[in-house]
A and B are shown apart, each in its own frame.
Chain A
């Protein structure tokens, strides 16, 4: 069986792209690591509460399931090109069995993950990424804690805080490191999203959640789990002006997003640095990457929210069988401008490096403290890759997904595109099966 299109990622971009292509008559398969379609934004429990955007997404997902092979709980770990031009998409299903899909075309719709920043105590249990707290709530119906501090930068902190408060947690505040203007002058207002901003403001007010700008969690304290945090007032560059300690049992922290582009870089797709410095895949007006037969949509081409992702998915799907309607392209430009404006409004400022102590872990996997990163610099490592080779940050299980951004900042360079020939940890058995699958071609 040779597919016309394999889509990797079951969020708004992947589902829209797969459905559009399937409706145009292509044989489509979609692989996603989760048990249910939705990605991060439309993550949901088995029987979700109705919500406007979610209802629409679920209709698309149901339509897709009737027209394409949807493969949940499939982790894609490698994609390569066959001599005849077909692509082999190698996955592992939830029982650990290898599954290989052969396809003419590929759509990379792998989304993004949280971009955390290290701070003293950030590895204590109870400190979660903002997206982690959101995933617990939306995907599992579990409220991350009782007394929660939400901290970081960007508009994503608002739905996280309102969601937690609405589910019964005491949210002690949203601590936004940027933006000295407060909710009434939130950039969402200036960007024509007044209704959305007002909705969050009303949600926070209803649950008496204060919104503080130029403040952030700069340390977490506790023996076995987080018991308190140090909150700081910050200047514009995020240097600490004053601190106070607040008791809490949970921290949800996030400083933007890291687009997941390693499947693209495995295939040699061209990359560029987005407004916030993140490496993203280069795409043309029809969402084609620089590699023939490979499209990308959603966060891997630049972070801009679910509406942009869905549009890019639709455009990719349309372009595979015909011309793309002008109206879609115009709407995409509007949402791209919106995404870029948000990235400019919520930069990561360098002052966070001053929150770290010598013993603060920069890399959680390999337990590399700041002192060892600094030592590597003194030994002559002037870029993130040399620091990694000398001090091992990014060498562990997560392969630098969590610490990569911070290490780049500490090295004084922009984050570089990932070089990961294997996108997910796989068994040696799966690796050994590479030979067999190359010979057999497909599943």
Chain B
């Protein structure tokens, strides 16, 4: 049932149907990018695709909203 994705090479467990943001948050990874000016840590905030705080790069693609992107087995995400 449960599968894994990796964040910067580290495995994170995922229950089927979970978003990447939910899986990271559940694993205690609560921030995965820094802001442009202040370098402030950011992760989930609105959780429904409105705020764009949770942007993350999946498998080298352009950043997308972690709260909307369903995790697929083997997904590799990177912090920025």
Contacts and interface: CB of A to CB of B under 8 A. Distances in A.
Nearest to A45: B17
Interface of A: 33-35, 40, 45-46, 113-114, 116, 123-129, 131-136, 139-144, 224-225, 364-365, 367, 396-398, 401-402, 425
A123 B40 contact: yes
B44 interface: yes
A125 B22 contact: no
B18 A398 contact: no
A139 B48 CA distance: 10
B16 interface: yes
A397 B45 CA distance: 14
B30 interface: yes
A114 B46 contact: yes
B22 A33 contact: no
Nearest to A366: B37
Contacts of B30: 125-126, 225
B49 to A, nearest CB: 6
A345 B60 CA distance: 48
Given A125-B30, A132-B48, A139-B22, A367 B40 contact: yes
Nearest 8 CB-CB pairs, A to B? A132-B47, A397-B52, A140-B22, A125-B30, A135-B47, A125-B31, A142-B26, A125-B43
Given A116-B46, A133-B47, A401-B51, 16 more contacts: A34-B68, A46-B17, A113-B46, A125-B30, A132-B47, A132-B67, A135-B47, A136-B25, A136-B47, A140-B15, A140-B19, A142-B22, A367-B35, A398-B50, A398-B52, A402-B51
14 contacts: A46-B16, A114-B46, A123-B40, A132-B47, A140-B17, A140-B26, A141-B15, A142-B18, A142-B23, A225-B30, A367-B36, A398-B52, A402-B46, A425-B52
A225 B41 contact: yes
B48 A131 contact: yes
Interface in B12-70: 15-19, 22-23, 25-26, 30-31, 35-38, 40-53, 55, 67-68, 70
Contacts, number: 102
Given A142-B22, A364-B53, A367-B35, A128 B17 contact: no
A137 to B, nearest CB: 9
A34 B23 CA distance: 17
A113 B44 contact: no
A217 B9 CA distance: 37
Given A127-B45, A128-B47, A141 B35 contact: no
Contacts of A128: 44-47
B31 A129 contact: no
A132 B46 contact: yes
Contact of B49 (A33, A124, A224, A365): A33
Which of A116, A127, A142, A367 counts the most chain B CB atoms within 10 A? A142
Contacts of A45: 17
A402 B31 contact: no
Given A140-B22, A141-B15, A131 B68 contact: no
A398 B53 CA distance: 9
B36 A129 contact: no
A225 B42 CA distance: 9
Contact of B31 (A40, A46, A225, A364): A225
**Residue in A123, A132, A133 whose Cβ sees the most chain B Cβ within 10 Å:** A132
B27 to A, nearest CB: 10
A225 B44 CA distance: 11
Contacts of A133: 47
Contacts of B19: 139-140
A139 B15 CA distance: 11
Nearest to A368: B37
A397 B55 contact: yes
